[in-house]
Amino acid sequence: MEKTVYEIIKDWHELFKNDVISEEEFIAKKKELLENDKSKIEAFKNEPEIIVENISSNQYDYHEDVYEEESFISKYKLFIILTIICLLIFGYYYYERNKTINNISEPTIGTYIINSDSNNLVHFYTKPNIETQRKSYFSTRDTVYVSEVKNGFGYIEYKNDRNQKSKGWIKLEDMIYYQE
């Protein structure tokens, strides 16, 4: 049984992949086989019975690609898998974040730690309003007692190491609730 053009080209491609022949030799042989195959089909153009017989026997089917075309999914399989993994991670993060946010109760009266250091000063406010900031501030992580909560601020009375007493409002976002 004689090999089809497709099978011959496939064999030559294997030789090319194994570095037995050069790329130029492979391209030249492929072009020669396809041109030869096209001329045979042109000769049978006026005889439909022979063409149908030859095409059905797959002997002169030069339209078949030498390289099988990959489907969209197989071509982008890695990208699709990575996208799905990223979406799952994002979904889990979003779920956990919302669960944490929903578990946070309303700010309460109690003991808090001032979240400050020498680079992040936490200022006092005269009223529970952002526009009433005073010059006095915390520069260390001190523990304070919040006696009233209003408008996102906590009211404190604080006595430092030098027995200086300070009263005022501190933003709750600048404090960490301390559960004993």
pLDDT in tens, 73-115: 777 888 899 999 999 999 998 888 877 655 555 668 889 999 8
45-54, 99-108, 128-137, 168-177: the lowest-pLDDT one: 45-54
Say if residues 94 and 158 touch (Cβ distance below 8 Å): no
The β-bridge partners of 10 are none
In percent, how much of the chain has pLDDT > 70?
76
Q: How far apart are the first and last CA of the chain?
A: 89
How far are the Cα atoms of 77, 96, 97, 113, 155 from residue 84, in angstroms, in the given order?
11, 18, 20, 41, 48
- Which DSSP string do the residues of 78-124 spell out, in sequence order? HHHHHHHHHHHHHHHHHHHHHHHHHHPPPP-SEEEEE---SSS-EEE
C-alpha 144, offset from chain centre: 43
Mean pLDDT taken over the chain = 79
CB atoms closer than 10 angstroms to residue 9: 20
Residue 67: predicted pLDDT? 54
Work out the average pLDDT over 9-24.
Answer: 85
Report if pTM > 0.75: no
**pLDDT higher for 71 or 25?**
25
DSSP state of 71: P
